[in-house]
Structure 1
Amino acid sequence: MNPTCDLPGAALAIERDRFPDPAFDLTQATPGEQLAVLAGGCFWCVEAVFRQLDGVLEVTSGYSGGDAASAHYDAVCSGRTDHAEAVAIRFDPQRIGYGRLLKVFFAVAHDPTQIDRQGNDRGRQYRSAIFWADDAQRETAAAYIRQLDEAKAFDAPIATRLVPLESFHQAEAYHQNYAALHPSQPYIAAVAAPKVTKLRQRFGDLLRAPR
């Protein structure tokens, strides 16, 4: 991650009402956990956002889109692997739907109009991607992107890729919950913290109760 990474661009400054609720969502009436895997630039920042949400049980930073042998930080940061920095979100669909997670992903967690970058973090490892686990997730994601296009939520085309989830490799231990453990680190203070603030301002109804 580049500690001089730009703050989120104009696309993320759009008012909340430009982001519709998902017309189609995945929820379930019976108990059971689900997994969402999303990539939106630096996994420290994306993880920090989703850890705030009620119904999210666990968020793990890692790598998706490449093989196990090269799923380590030095290789991924070189840009020579097929991985994206990603987060695996284990959630309770009785409390928060997959579509609602996608709304937060697009509205707060990253700028989906940037191609293979987020601010000054450049390379395919920082691409925007939704790694869908099944056809229902793929269809939900595709439908929501169409909604965002119709709502003209962004001034530039959405570059997020829909990719089948083949594997997710957990990142090194020191990356986990990094933003919460290092709030004064310059990159976290400049990039992750404003996203969490934006989440609290726009989606207060989705936040978990203070512990």
Structure 2
Amino acid sequence: MAAPDSAPRGTFLRSAAPPPNGTFVRSTRTALLGALAALPLLLSGCDTSMITGKDGAADTVVAEGSASPEDSWILFEKGRAAATPKPSATAKPSPTPTPSFSPLPEDTVCAFDWLAGQVLLPVNTEVGAGSIRASWPRVGEPPPDSFRITAVPQDNVSGVQPELEWQTVTVTSGCSASGTITGLRPGRPYIVWVDAPESGYQLDGTPRPRSGRSGVVYPE
């Protein structure tokens, strides 16, 4: 069969020249098979897949949506919720020092067993030979200066009672007053009475304690 008129004599038809750099065009079937082979890797969620490059080295490909190397796993354990303990304070406040007060010197003359507001003044006594020495506090502001004292016999007397003999005691200083009653019968019971007619009145109008008495005493 003769060659076409357009071709020179002795010339054969060749296929198209191959692509440069020695790269061959793969068929459509080969490309489709490669895509199907890579599809399970993309759908499995694996972190990386190894694909051989042109130079034969292994390239690392990170699938889209997979965890990056910086991500870490978080583990959850089933259990009951517990309150976080609060840190306990270790520092304790220093105690406040208690102020100390020095006691005032005691005045033995004015040391009477008596409460404010008591109706009767307390009377202390000391017995002597046919006598009784009595002492009592001076109450008031200012305290009274004049008092009366007497010793009342405790013997039973039928008929008219004997008159009491009062004696005046004047005191202008100090917080107590004292006086001695003489002429008493030794060994007989007596009670000493104190009267303070000039004791005055308190702020609410009530009179200050103006009377006092002792217990039963027996002169020697």
- For normalisation by structure 1, the TM-score amounts to 0.24
- The higher relative CO (CA closer than 8 Å, separation ≥ 6) is in 1
Question: Which one has a bigger Cα radius of gyration?
Answer: 2
The normalised TM-score by structure 2 is 0.23
- Structure with greater helix share of residues: 1
